[in-house]
Amino acid sequence: MKKTNPSMLDVARFAGVSIATVSNVINRPEKVSEATAEQVRAAIAELGFVRNDAARSLATGTTSSIGMVLADLDNSLFVDMAHGAQRGVDAVGLRLLLGNAACDLTRQDDYLRLFDEARVGGVLLSPMEDSLAGIERMRSHGRPMVLLNYDQDGIDCCTVLVDNEEVGYLAARHLIETGRKRIGFVAGRDYYQPVHARRVGVQRAVREAGGARLEEIDTGGLDFEDGLAVARALGERPPGQRPDGIVAVTDDIANGIAEGLHTAFVAEVPGDISIVGCEDNRSARSGPVALTAVQLEGVRMGQAAAELLLEEMNAPAGEHRHRTVTVRPGLVVRASTAVAPLGV
Amino acid sequence: MKKTNPSMLDVARFAGVSIATVSNVINRPEKVSEATAEQVRAAIAELGFVRNDAARSLATGTTSSIGMVLADLDNSLFVDMAHGAQRGVDAVGLRLLLGNAACDLTRQDDYLRLFDEARVGGVLLSPMEDSLAGIERMRSHGRPMVLLNYDQDGIDCCTVLVDNEEVGYLAARHLIETGRKRIGFVAGRDYYQPVHARRVGVQRAVREAGGARLEEIDTGGLDFEDGLAVARALGERPPGQRPDGIVAVTDDIANGIAEGLHTAFVAEVPGDISIVGCEDNRSARSGPVALTAVQLEGVRMGQAAAELLLEEMNAPAGEHRHRTVTVRPGLVVRASTAVAPLGV
């Protein structure tokens, strides 16, 4: 049963306890019952586990790490996910290595391969479209992997999702509750799963409310400039035929609309038209007013993903069952929908 | 001369060429002269270099990586540095592993140790205060390391700095050039080197201008709330005794001042008081108007650091000389100082 360089994870598996417990036995023995401590010490002795950082081989050094591949570090959602994952792995004394795919599928695959070669304990991945090959290679090497924000059939992994239908629902309901009757949903690329799900949520909120009606406006894209174009188009309509509340499927669209309405003196935000974004992305290009937005809860997603991964790393062989955790979004109200004067 | 697992770096050193050249010989031979290619092929043969990702050991796998430890991923300056470093290492086919110290010195040291154990080719570090121990351990293992944004005597490393005196100078000069006469410099913690240097730059700009005068306001801290407090204090003065242009040493202070002036109807920004921030941090808490700011040029800093590191990794033993690259900041003008109506 002796291995050359058993890791803390090996000890945890052998003793049938969590990594956190092994770490406690070593670092904070007062926190562990004597029976459990005894069990862990027996595993340490049996496996020949040496806790000596200098003496540890590279392999054990990196087994005590988790790799995380982020789709785009420029987008604060992924930064939030990294923070949440850090919180999750810090709790058990593991370390989180980040790779930024920066929206490049080849680079994403490079990082997956690197983490695989480096024998990290497991991988967290917020995949880009068409990431199946890299995911399957990783799985075929038996390395635990949890996916974030990737709702695809036939993926044999634990997954953390945000409820995007709820995102759209919360955004539209907020407009209706603040008295708006003519709701506009501005979006593009409905083939993206999050865009489509948000649309469904907006439709549901408007249907439930009864008195409001919905106009769906297709921008073609998802960027600030697409929002500017929508504002220009709205400027050509008589005021009574414009929406009085807009859900924009991205924050960039939302800010583009606000900027366009403001610069061309088309309408006041939020007086004439109030606007909600669907991301609460700190890195979105900003508009003239602070944006009310539905928050995708990246920190909670990252933490949930780390916890699922540790669970899988820690499960006895054959006993792990994949599951999906769905995080509920929340609404953050700011000036773009707050018609009353803002308090400090 | 044979080693078990020579890396591309070993080949480059042996052939006396850059890693980029070795990579070109292997992947894009048409880009390399026949004489150079011959030299590289001889080195490959001599060292027994095998370019087979699956067969590579962990050690070579990670030698082809650069580690980067970031002080705080929540601050967009460090995200920018990561992007710049990625650009620098992508150019030579290396991979960048990121560790987020998240403002915790212990975690910073953990990452330095992990990268050391993993035998990365080199390390980029934006250190926190008092980082000497980790830096010296790393150096003692002979691993190349480049420091970002850390201006300390007695550090035996290549360093990339931003010219913080120029940051303050550009901010104050912009206010003066747009007609402001009573310049306020709002800052705290002058013992931080960047804070002090920005102050010196502001003083120089005001001195050079002649007609303007300078008031230095100490906030105690560097946060949004410190800015709010300054706005409250300004509200208690008669309008003619307030600054008409403010340089805030952080964007958070700047946005806090703008928010405080706006909410309590003390003054219009930029009409009565225009405001400049000193970071252009996308993650700063935002205020009621888009902020003019001096940009710290994180992307350029990251790229310069990666290039210095590759230079050091690539230099024949004993021939490397440390140097410091100082990046010049730039000014981004937005609504908080733009008195004329904004164009699109």
The alpha helices in chain B, defined as continuous H runs, are 8-15, 19-27, 34-47, 58-63, 76-90, 105-117, 132-140, 164-177, 193-209, 224-235, 251-263, 298-314
Whether residues B101 and B181 share a domain: the answer is no
In a domain, B340, yes or no: no
pLDDT classification of A35: cutoffs 50, 70, 90 = confident
Residue B338: which residues within 8 A CB-CB, separation 6 or more?
B270, B292
Residue A130: which residues within 8 A CB-CB, separation 6 or more?
A105
A114/B82 touch (CB, cutoff 8 Å), yes or no? no
Whether residues B131 and B233 share a domain: the answer is no
Token output for B217: 């306001």
The answer to whether B70 touches B99, Cβ cutoff 8 Å, is yes
B124 touches chain A (CB under 8 A): no
The answer to whether B132 touches B109, Cβ cutoff 8 Å, is no
Whether residues B117 and B150 share a domain: the answer is yes
* Alpha-carbon span B188 to B52, nearest angstrom: 54
* Alpha-carbon span B49 to B51, nearest angstrom: 6
B62/A114 touch (CB, cutoff 8 Å), yes or no? yes
Of A16, A43, A63, the one marking the end of a domain is A63
pLDDT of residue B310: 94
A141-161 burial, b if ≥16 CB within 10 A, otherwise e? eebbbbbbbbeeeebebbbbb
Whether residues B199 and B244 share a domain: the answer is yes
Token output for A161: 């999702």
pLDDT classification of A60: cutoffs 50, 70, 90 = very low
pLDDT classification of A1: cutoffs 50, 70, 90 = very low
Whether residues A125 and A100 share a domain: the answer is yes
A83/B98 touch (CB, cutoff 8 Å), yes or no? no
With contacts defined as CB-CB under 8 Å, which chain A residues touch B264?
Answer: 344
Of A22, A41, A63, the one marking the end of a domain is A63
B344 burial (CB, 10 Å; 0-12 / 13-18 / 19+) is exposed
**What value, to the nearest 5°, has the Cα angle with vertex A276 and ends A274 and A277?**
145
Q: What is the CATH number of the domain that holds B6?
A: 1.10.260.40
Q: Which helix (H) or strand (E) holds B246?
A: strand B245-248
Q: What is the CATH number of the domain that holds B229?
A: 3.40.50.2300
Closest chain A residue to B54, measured at CA: A117
Distance (Å) from the C-alpha of residue A137 to the closest C-alpha of chain B? Answer: 12
Place of tokens 């042996």: B14
With contacts defined as CB-CB under 8 Å, which chain A residues touch B338?
Answer: none
A141 touches chain B (CB under 8 A): no
B282 touches chain A (CB under 8 A): yes
In a domain, A91, yes or no: yes
A221 touches chain B (CB under 8 A): no
Distance (Å) from the C-alpha of residue B114 to the closest C-alpha of chain A? Answer: 7
A333 touches chain B (CB under 8 A): no
Place of tokens 């939020």: A270
B224 touches chain A (CB under 8 A): no
In a domain, B332, yes or no: no
Q: A120 vs A44, which has greater pLDDT?
A: A120
In a domain, B46, yes or no: yes
Nearest to A53 among B61, B113, B260 (CB): B113
Whether residues A289 and A204 share a domain: the answer is yes
With contacts defined as CB-CB under 8 Å, which chain A residues touch B286?
Answer: 286, 290
In a domain, A236, yes or no: yes
Closest chain B residue to A65, measured at CA: B114
A72 touches chain B (CB under 8 A): no
Place of tokens 């635990």: A144
In a domain, A338, yes or no: no
Residue A114 confidence (pLDDT) above 60 = yes
Residue type, A129: E
Q: Count of A–B CB contacts within 8 Å?
A: 109
Whether residues A37 and A109 share a domain: the answer is no
B201 burial (CB, 10 Å; 0-12 / 13-18 / 19+) is buried
* pLDDT tens sequence across B48-96: 665 433 233 333 445 679 999 999 998 999 999 999 999 999 888 889 9
Please provide the DSSP assignment of B42-85 as one string. HHHHHHT----TTT--HHHHHHTEEEEEES-TTSHHHHHHHHHH
Domain count, chain A: 3
Q: A105 vs B129, which has greater pLDDT?
A: A105
B99 touches chain A (CB under 8 A): yes
With contacts defined as CB-CB under 8 Å, which chain B residues touch A259?
Answer: 344
Of A63, A83, A115, the one marking the end of a domain is A63
A79/B82 touch (CB, cutoff 8 Å), yes or no? no
Whether residues A243 and A180 share a domain: the answer is yes
Residue A236: which residues within 8 A CB-CB, separation 6 or more?
none
With contacts defined as CB-CB under 8 Å, which chain B residues touch A302?
Answer: none
Nearest to A79 among B61, B74, B344 (CB): B74
A247 bridge partner residues: A185, A276
Which one of A57, A72, A86, A263 makes the best mutation probe of the B interface by having the most chain B beta carbons within 10 Å?
A86
Q: Divide the 344 residues of chain B into consecutive groups of 10 and give the mean pLDDT of each group.
A: 58 80 76 85 74 36 80 92 94 91 90 86 88 79 89 85 97 97 96 93 96 96 96 96 97 96 92 96 84 95 96 88 95 85 40
In a domain, B342, yes or no: no
Whether residues A209 and A259 share a domain: the answer is yes
A158-162 and A95-100 as β-strands: parallel, antiparallel, unpaired?
unpaired
The answer to whether B120 touches B130, Cβ cutoff 8 Å, is no
Domain that holds residue A315: 64-161+298-326
The alpha helices in B100-163, defined as continuous H runs, are 105-117, 132-140
Please provide the DSSP assignment of A15-46 as one string. HTS-HHHHHHHHH-GGGS-HHHHHHHHHHHHH
B119 touches chain A (CB under 8 A): yes
Whether residues B289 and B172 share a domain: the answer is yes
With contacts defined as CB-CB under 8 Å, which chain A residues touch B106?
Answer: none
A344/B100 touch (CB, cutoff 8 Å), yes or no? no
With contacts defined as CB-CB under 8 Å, which chain B residues touch A90?
Answer: 107
Which ipTM score applies to this complex? 0.74
* pLDDT, chain A, mean: 87
pLDDT classification of A50: cutoffs 50, 70, 90 = low
Distance (Å) from the C-alpha of residue B98 to the closest C-alpha of chain A? Answer: 5
Q: Alpha carbon of A140 to those of A70, A156, A318, A320, B55: distances in Å?
A: 21, 11, 15, 16, 17
Residue A53 confidence (pLDDT) above 60 = no
In a domain, A247, yes or no: yes
B51 touches chain A (CB under 8 A): no
B66 touches chain A (CB under 8 A): no
Whether residues A22 and A68 share a domain: the answer is no
Whether residues A106 and A211 share a domain: the answer is no
B114/A61 touch (CB, cutoff 8 Å), yes or no? yes
